Amino acid sequence: MPLVFDKLSPLGTRDVAVSLTGDLEVGETIDTVDVTSTNTALLVVSNIAVNTIALDQDGITAAIGKAVTFTLTGQISAATSTVQLYIDFTGTSGSADRYTVSVPMGNLTS
How high does pLDDT run on average in the chain?
Answer: 90
> In the structure, what pLDDT confidence band is assigned to residue 47 with cuts at 50, 70 and 90?
very high
The fraction of the chain above a pLDDT of 90, given in percent, is 68
Residue 85 structural domain = 3-105
Determine the pLDDT at residue 52.
Answer: 95
Residue 56, in any domain of the structure: yes
Residue 16, in any domain of the structure: yes
CA 40, chain centre distance (Å) = 15
Residue 13, in any domain of the structure: yes
| Domain harbouring 54, CATH code | 2.60.40
Tell me the mean pLDDT in the region 59-88. Answer: 90
Residues in the chain: 110
Total domains present in the chain: 1
| Rounded distance between C-alpha atoms, residue 106 and residue 108, angstroms | 6
Residue 110, in any domain of the structure: no
- HEC profile for the chain? CCEECCCECCCCEEEEEEECHHHCCCCCCEEEEEEEECCCCCEEEEEEEECCCCEEECCEEECCCCEEEEEEEECCCCCCEEEEEEEEEEECCCCEEEEEEEEEECCCCC
Tell me the mean pLDDT in the region 39-46. Answer: 93
Q: Is the pLDDT of residue 110 over 60?
A: no
Q: Is the pLDDT of residue 66 over 90?
A: yes
